[in-house]
Protein backbone atom coordinates (compact mmCIF):
# COMPACT_ATOMS: atom_id res chain seq x y z
CA UNK A 1 0.00 0.00 0.00
CA UNK A 2 2.77 2.47 0.90
CA UNK A 3 4.55 1.64 -2.36
CA UNK A 4 1.42 2.44 -4.36
CA UNK A 5 0.82 5.68 -2.49
CA UNK A 6 4.41 6.86 -2.91
CA UNK A 7 4.10 6.37 -6.66
CA UNK A 8 0.64 7.97 -6.67
CA UNK A 9 1.98 11.12 -5.04
CA UNK A 10 4.95 11.24 -7.41
CA UNK A 11 2.62 10.99 -10.40
CA UNK A 12 0.30 13.61 -8.91
CA UNK A 13 3.10 16.09 -8.21
CA UNK A 14 4.45 15.56 -11.72
CA UNK A 15 1.01 16.24 -13.25
CA UNK A 16 0.84 19.45 -11.23
CA UNK A 17 4.14 20.61 -12.71
CA UNK A 18 6.70 19.50 -10.13
CA UNK A 19 10.18 18.42 -11.12
CA UNK A 20 10.91 15.09 -9.43
CA UNK A 21 14.65 14.58 -9.14
CA UNK A 22 16.09 11.12 -8.53
CA UNK A 23 19.53 9.60 -9.16
CA UNK A 24 20.73 12.74 -10.89
CA UNK A 25 17.86 13.12 -13.32
CA UNK A 26 14.26 14.21 -13.68
CA UNK A 27 11.75 11.38 -13.43
CA UNK A 28 9.11 10.85 -16.10
CA UNK A 29 5.76 9.15 -15.43
CA UNK A 30 7.10 5.96 -17.00
CA UNK A 31 10.23 6.03 -14.84
CA UNK A 32 8.13 6.52 -11.71
CA UNK A 33 6.29 3.29 -12.48
CA UNK A 34 9.60 1.40 -12.66
CA UNK A 35 10.94 2.58 -9.28
CA UNK A 36 11.22 -0.13 -6.66
CA UNK A 37 9.69 0.40 -3.21
CA UNK A 38 12.80 1.93 -1.61
CA UNK A 39 13.46 4.21 -4.59
CA UNK A 40 9.85 5.39 -4.70
CA UNK A 41 9.88 6.13 -0.97
CA UNK A 42 13.12 8.11 -1.16
CA UNK A 43 12.03 10.08 -4.23
CA UNK A 44 8.61 10.85 -2.76
CA UNK A 45 9.87 11.99 0.65
CA UNK A 46 12.55 14.14 -0.99
CA UNK A 47 10.06 15.71 -3.40
CA UNK A 48 7.51 16.61 -0.72
CA UNK A 49 10.15 18.05 1.59
CA UNK A 50 11.89 20.02 -1.15
CA UNK A 51 8.92 22.29 -1.82
CA UNK A 52 8.45 23.58 1.72
CA UNK A 53 5.13 24.85 3.06
CA UNK A 54 4.63 27.73 0.62
CA UNK A 55 5.84 25.74 -2.36
CA UNK A 56 3.70 22.66 -1.77
CA UNK A 57 0.53 24.63 -1.00
CA UNK A 58 1.05 26.66 -4.18
CA UNK A 59 1.65 23.53 -6.24
CA UNK A 60 -1.53 21.93 -4.86
CA UNK A 61 -3.59 25.14 -4.72
CA UNK A 62 -6.39 23.94 -7.02
CA UNK A 63 -6.64 20.53 -5.37
CA UNK A 64 -6.66 22.13 -1.91
CA UNK A 65 -9.59 24.31 -2.94
CA UNK A 66 -11.38 21.21 -4.26
CA UNK A 67 -10.79 19.45 -0.93
CA UNK A 68 -12.14 22.46 0.99
CA UNK A 69 -15.32 22.32 -1.12
CA UNK A 70 -15.66 18.59 -0.48
CA UNK A 71 -15.53 18.97 3.30
CA UNK A 72 -18.02 21.83 3.26
CA UNK A 73 -20.40 19.76 1.13
CA UNK A 74 -19.92 16.75 3.41
CA UNK A 75 -20.81 18.80 6.48
CA UNK A 76 -23.76 20.49 4.78
CA UNK A 77 -25.11 17.08 3.83
CA UNK A 78 -24.60 15.43 7.21
CA UNK A 79 -27.07 17.21 9.45
CA UNK A 80 -26.31 18.52 12.92
CA UNK A 81 -27.56 15.49 14.86
CA UNK A 82 -26.37 12.72 12.56
CA UNK A 83 -23.93 10.31 14.24
CA UNK A 84 -20.30 10.56 13.23
CA UNK A 85 -18.63 7.73 11.33
CA UNK A 86 -15.84 6.10 13.35
CA UNK A 87 -12.67 4.56 11.90
CA UNK A 88 -10.41 2.52 14.17
CA UNK A 89 -7.13 0.66 13.79
CA UNK A 90 -5.80 -1.67 16.49
CA UNK A 91 -2.03 -1.81 16.82
CA UNK A 92 0.20 -3.67 19.30
CA UNK A 93 3.74 -2.42 19.97
CA UNK A 94 6.44 -4.51 21.65
CA UNK A 95 9.86 -3.43 22.86
CA UNK A 96 8.88 0.26 23.21
CA UNK A 97 7.16 2.12 26.05
CA UNK A 98 4.53 4.78 25.43
CA UNK A 99 6.72 7.27 27.33
CA UNK A 100 9.56 6.66 24.87
CA UNK A 101 7.21 7.33 21.97
CA UNK A 102 6.06 10.61 23.53
CA UNK A 103 9.66 11.71 24.14
CA UNK A 104 10.61 11.12 20.51
CA UNK A 105 7.63 12.94 19.00
CA UNK A 106 7.87 16.54 20.14
CA UNK A 107 6.67 19.24 17.72
CA UNK A 108 10.13 19.84 16.23
CA UNK A 109 10.73 16.14 15.57
CA UNK A 110 7.23 15.65 14.20
CA UNK A 111 7.68 18.55 11.80
CA UNK A 112 11.04 17.21 10.63
CA UNK A 113 9.88 13.62 10.16
CA UNK A 114 6.28 14.16 9.03
CA UNK A 115 6.83 13.40 5.34
CA UNK A 116 8.56 10.12 6.20
CA UNK A 117 5.69 8.87 8.36
CA UNK A 118 3.18 8.45 5.54
CA UNK A 119 3.15 8.99 1.75
CA UNK A 120 0.05 11.19 2.21
CA UNK A 121 1.77 13.62 4.60
CA UNK A 122 3.09 16.89 3.21
CA UNK A 123 3.98 19.09 6.20
CA UNK A 124 3.12 19.93 9.78
CA UNK A 125 4.30 22.96 11.77
CA UNK A 126 3.42 24.73 15.00
CA UNK A 127 0.73 27.36 14.51
CA UNK A 128 -0.59 29.33 17.46
CA UNK A 129 -2.62 27.04 19.69
CA UNK A 130 -2.23 24.06 17.39
CA UNK A 131 -0.57 22.78 14.25
CA UNK A 132 -0.76 23.76 10.57
CA UNK A 133 -0.72 20.61 8.43
CA UNK A 134 -1.47 19.15 5.02
CA UNK A 135 -2.37 15.53 4.40
CA UNK A 136 -4.76 13.36 2.42
CA UNK A 137 -7.47 11.64 4.45
CA UNK A 138 -8.11 8.00 3.75
CA UNK A 139 -5.94 7.88 0.62
CA UNK A 140 -8.90 9.45 -1.20
CA UNK A 141 -9.10 12.52 -3.42
CA UNK A 142 -6.93 15.53 -2.67
CA UNK A 143 -4.93 16.69 0.35
CA UNK A 144 -6.52 18.94 2.98
CA UNK A 145 -4.69 21.95 4.41
CA UNK A 146 -5.84 22.34 7.98
CA UNK A 147 -5.39 23.64 11.50
CA UNK A 148 -5.19 20.88 14.13
CA UNK A 149 -5.71 21.14 17.86
CA UNK A 150 -4.64 18.13 19.95
CA UNK A 151 -5.87 17.90 23.54
CA UNK A 152 -6.96 14.80 25.50
CA UNK A 153 -9.77 16.93 26.99
CA UNK A 154 -11.45 17.65 23.63
CA UNK A 155 -14.94 16.14 23.87
CA UNK A 156 -15.65 13.31 21.44
CA UNK A 157 -18.79 11.13 21.28
CA UNK A 158 -16.83 7.96 22.05
CA UNK A 159 -15.97 6.36 25.38
CA UNK A 160 -12.56 4.74 25.90
CA UNK A 161 -12.57 0.97 25.53
CA UNK A 162 -12.38 -1.11 28.70
CA UNK A 163 -8.85 -1.04 30.10
CA UNK A 164 -7.71 1.76 27.78
CA UNK A 165 -6.62 5.32 28.57
CA UNK A 166 -7.01 8.36 26.34
CA UNK A 167 -3.78 9.02 24.44
CA UNK A 168 -5.01 12.16 22.70
CA UNK A 169 -7.97 13.73 20.98
CA UNK A 170 -8.00 16.32 18.24
CA UNK A 171 -10.18 18.67 16.21
CA UNK A 172 -9.73 19.98 12.67
CA UNK A 173 -10.58 23.16 10.78
CA UNK A 174 -9.71 24.33 7.27
CA UNK A 175 -6.58 26.47 7.07
CA UNK A 176 -8.11 28.61 4.32
CA UNK A 177 -10.99 30.12 6.30
CA UNK A 178 -11.20 28.40 9.69
CA UNK A 179 -14.28 26.32 8.86
CA UNK A 180 -14.73 23.47 11.34
CA UNK A 181 -15.01 20.26 9.33
CA UNK A 182 -15.94 17.99 12.26
CA UNK A 183 -13.14 15.53 11.67
CA UNK A 184 -11.93 14.38 15.08
CA UNK A 185 -9.09 12.22 16.34
CA UNK A 186 -9.47 9.90 19.33
CA UNK A 187 -6.54 7.64 20.19
CA UNK A 188 -6.44 5.26 23.18
CA UNK A 189 -3.70 3.12 24.69
CA UNK A 190 -3.22 0.29 27.16
CA UNK A 191 0.17 -0.49 28.74
CA UNK A 192 1.44 -4.04 28.27
CA UNK A 193 4.30 -5.92 29.93
CA UNK A 194 6.67 -5.31 27.01
CA UNK A 195 5.04 -2.40 25.20
CA UNK A 196 1.51 -1.15 24.70
CA UNK A 197 -1.63 -1.54 22.61
CA UNK A 198 -3.36 1.36 20.88
CA UNK A 199 -6.75 1.94 19.34
CA UNK A 200 -6.19 4.64 16.76
CA UNK A 201 -9.42 6.43 15.95
CA UNK A 202 -10.82 9.16 13.74
CA UNK A 203 -14.39 10.38 13.42
CA UNK A 204 -16.08 11.92 10.37
CA UNK A 205 -19.36 13.63 9.48
CA UNK A 206 -22.13 11.21 8.50
CA UNK A 207 -21.97 12.07 4.78
CA UNK A 208 -18.24 11.36 4.49
CA UNK A 209 -17.49 8.87 1.74
CA UNK A 210 -16.95 5.31 2.92
CA UNK A 211 -13.60 5.21 1.06
CA UNK A 212 -12.23 7.97 3.32
CA UNK A 213 -13.39 6.31 6.53
CA UNK A 214 -12.11 2.86 5.57
CA UNK A 215 -8.93 4.14 3.94
CA UNK A 216 -7.94 6.20 6.96
CA UNK A 217 -7.76 3.05 9.07
CA UNK A 218 -4.82 1.98 6.91
CA UNK A 219 -3.39 5.52 6.90
CA UNK A 220 -3.36 5.64 10.72
CA UNK A 221 -1.72 2.22 11.01
CA UNK A 222 1.01 3.13 8.50
CA UNK A 223 1.69 6.41 10.29
CA UNK A 224 1.79 4.94 13.78
CA UNK A 225 4.07 2.10 12.74
CA UNK A 226 6.52 4.62 11.29
CA UNK A 227 6.35 6.74 14.45
CA UNK A 228 7.22 3.75 16.61
CA UNK A 229 10.08 2.69 14.35
CA UNK A 230 11.55 6.19 14.48
CA UNK A 231 11.16 6.33 18.26
CA UNK A 232 12.94 2.98 18.53
CA UNK A 233 15.79 4.21 16.35
CA UNK A 234 14.75 2.01 13.44
CA UNK A 235 14.34 2.96 9.80
CA UNK A 236 10.73 4.00 9.12
CA UNK A 237 11.04 2.29 5.78
CA UNK A 238 11.26 -1.21 7.30
CA UNK A 239 9.15 -3.78 5.60
CA UNK A 240 6.43 -6.05 6.91
CA UNK A 241 8.97 -8.34 8.58
CA UNK A 242 9.64 -5.79 11.33
CA UNK A 243 8.60 -7.23 14.73
CA UNK A 244 8.20 -3.90 16.52
CA UNK A 245 4.61 -3.14 15.51
CA UNK A 246 1.79 -5.54 14.63
Domain count for the chain, please give it.
2
**Residues near 67 by Cβ (< 8 Å), separated by ≥ 6?**
141, 142, 143, 144, 145
Is 180 part of a structural domain of the chain? yes
Q: Is the pLDDT of residue 240 over 50?
A: no
Is 133 found in the same domain as 103? yes
In this structure, the answer to whether residues 85 and 10 fall within a common structural domain is: no
How confident is residue 155, by pLDDT bands cut at 50, 70 and 90?
Answer: confident
Q: What CATH number does the domain containing 189 carry?
A: 3.30.530.20
Please check whether residue 71 lies inside any domain of the structure: no
Does 67 fall in a domain?
no
- Are 28 and 103 found together in one domain? no
Q: Round the CA-based radius of gyration of the chain to a whole number and report it.
A: 18
Q: Check pLDDT > 60 for residue 220.
A: yes
Domain-located, residue 239: no
Share of the chain above pLDDT 90, in %: 83
Partners of residue 94 on adjacent β-strands: 195
Residues 178, 85 share a domain: yes
221 lies in which domain range? 81-231
**Is the pLDDT assigned to residue 244 strictly greater than 70?**
no
Q: Let me know whether 133 and 30 are in one domain.
A: no
> Tell me: the pLDDT tens digits for 28-78?
999 999 999 999 999 999 999 999 999 999 999 999 999 999 999 999 999
Q: What is the DSSP string of the chain?
A: -HHHHHHHHHHHHHHTT---EETTEEPPHHHHHT--HHHHHHHHHHHHHHHHHHHHHHHTHHHHHHHHHHHHHHHHTT-TTSPPEEEEEEEEEES--HHHHHHH--HHHHHHHHHHH-TTEEEEEEETTEEEEEE-GGG-SS-EEEEEEE-TTS--S-PPPTT-EEEEEEEEEETTT--B---EEEEEEEEETTEEEEEEEEEE-TTS-HHHHHHHHHHHHHHHHHHHHHHTT--TT--TT-SSB-
Q: In terms of domains, do 7 and 111 share one? A: no
User: Residue 48 in contact with residue 133, Cβ under 8 Å?
Assistant: no
Kindly report the average pLDDT of the chain as a whole number.
Answer: 93
Do 172 and 112 lie in one domain? The reply is: yes
pTM of the model: 0.91
Given 10, 25, 59, which residue is the final one in a domain? Answer: 59
How would residue 243 be classed by pLDDT, with cut points 50, 70 and 90? low
**pLDDT at position 237, please?**
45
Cα separation, 246 vs 18, in Å, equals 36
pLDDT digits (tens, 9 = 90+) for 100-124: 998 888 888 899 999 999 999 999 9
Asked if the structure places residue 64 within a domain, the reply is: no
pLDDT band at 239 (very low <50, low <70, confident <90, very high): very low
Within-domain flag for 187: yes
Spatial contact of 6 and 13, defined as CB atoms under 8 Å apart: no
Tell me, yes or no, whether 114 and 219 share the same domain.
yes
Same domain, 40 and 91: no
User: Does a structural domain hold residue 193?
Assistant: yes
How sure is the predictor about 193, in pLDDT bands with cuts at 50, 70 and 90? Answer: very high
Residue 32 shares a structural domain with residue 143: no
By the 8 A CB rule, do 88 and 201 touch?
Answer: yes
Amino acid sequence: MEYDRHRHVLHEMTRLGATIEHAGGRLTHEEIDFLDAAEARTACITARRSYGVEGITHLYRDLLRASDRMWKEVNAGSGKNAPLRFATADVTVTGLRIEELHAALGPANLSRDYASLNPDHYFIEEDGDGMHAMETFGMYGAPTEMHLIADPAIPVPVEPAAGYLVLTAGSTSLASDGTEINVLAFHQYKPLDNGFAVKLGSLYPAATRRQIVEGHKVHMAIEFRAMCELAAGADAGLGADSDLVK
